[in-house]
Amino acid sequence: LFSPDSSGAVGSSDVVVLLHGFPTSSYDWSKIWEGLTQRFHRVIALDFLGFGFSDKPRPHGYSIFEQASIVEGLLRHLGLRHQRINLLSHDYGDTVAQELLHSGSLTQLLLYLSKFHFFPGLGQFLGPTLSPPRQNFGISNSFSNNFSFSVLQYINQRKKHRERWVGALMSTSVPLHLIYGPLDPVNPHPEFLQLYRKVLPMSTVSVLDDHISHYPQLEDPTGFLNAYLNFINSF
């Protein structure tokens, strides 16, 4: 398991855990990493099993449930059982965070959990499911194709467990925030935003500039970071 971990702001005890999307890695957070270290005492990311620098076992039945267990195990290993945790998630990572939220293991493990950040990816629950782009992982095409197919089973898992994972968001008392790029092809504007606000009226929302798409933390790191820190600092 590859897991970058940085110490940051002096005088703060806050921890932020970053959960990346498909088909990428923890590098998705590179452009806001320094900004996060100026606000949080500790910034932690990981490459999910099968992604980035983490192992890619085959054959293997990749599942959201397993990834959630890995996150839980990592936090326990890092001694964060009694730390206040903020979750910042994207795409595939949103679903992992929702499973942690639903299972209750996160709130038991992290006794001072107070914030849950959520952004693009929910459209694959609320509306039509769109397949994410394929990517070569720097290995042979045959392995890459088989691996991509295996990991893409998470889309079927989203369909199967829609009630479980959307229900977790609808019933939680943990504050939610959406940072949205209007040009996102996975979560089309304005339909997605209208549906999101209808299903999750308790969530706050930040809408970035019109040209921002599905990777706002890379496309507009300053706007994204400001939106996120405004949410965090509102508590």
Distance from C-alpha of 98 to C-alpha of 174, rounded to nearest angstrom: 11
- Is residue 130 one of the residues assigned to a domain? no
Number of domains in the chain: 1
Q: Is a pLDDT exceeding 80 seen at residue 10?
A: no
Q: What is the pLDDT of residues 33-67, one digit of tens each?
A: 999 999 999 999 999 998 988 988 888 888 999 99
- Which CATH number is 114's domain given? 3.40.50.1820
Q: Which residues contact 201 (CB under 8 A, 6 or more apart)?
A: none
Alpha helices, H only, the chain: 30-37, 64-77, 92-103, 105-109, 123-126, 141-151, 153-160, 162-171, 191-199, 216-219, 221-232
Among 52, 73, 218, 72, residue whose Cα is nearest residue 151: 52
- Is residue 138 one of the residues assigned to a domain? no
- Is residue 67 one of the residues assigned to a domain? yes
Sheet of strand 42-46, all strands in order from the earlier edge strand to the far edge: 5-7, 42-46, 15-19, 85-89, 115-117, 176-180, 204-207
Helix-helix angle 162-171:191-199, to 10 degrees: 70
User: Quick one: pLDDT at residue 108?
Assistant: 44
- Is residue 132 one of the residues assigned to a domain? no
User: For residue 18, what are the domain limits?
Assistant: 5-120+144-233
User: Quick one: pLDDT at residue 159?
Assistant: 84
What confidence category does residue 20 fall into, taking pLDDT thresholds of 50, 70 and 90? very high
- Mean pLDDT along residues 167-174: 86
- Is residue 75 one of the residues assigned to a domain? yes
What confidence category does residue 26 fall into, taking pLDDT thresholds of 50, 70 and 90? very high
Q: Is a pLDDT exceeding 50 seen at residue 22?
A: yes
Q: Is a pLDDT exceeding 80 seen at residue 115?
A: no
User: Quick one: pLDDT at residue 217?
Assistant: 94
Phi, psi (degrees; rounded to nearest 5) at 79: 75, 35
Residue 155 or residue 74, greater confidence: 74
- Is residue 136 one of the residues assigned to a domain? no
Sign of the Cα torsion 143, 144, 149, 154 reads positive
- Is residue 58 one of the residues assigned to a domain? yes
User: Quick one: pLDDT at residue 155?
Assistant: 81
- Is residue 162 one of the residues assigned to a domain? yes
Q: Which residues contact 30 (CB under 8 A, 6 or more apart)?
A: none
Among 139, 9, 31, residue whose Cα is nearest residue 18: 31
Distance from C-alpha of 201 to C-alpha of 199, rounded to nearest angstrom: 6
What are 124's two structure tokens? 């694959």
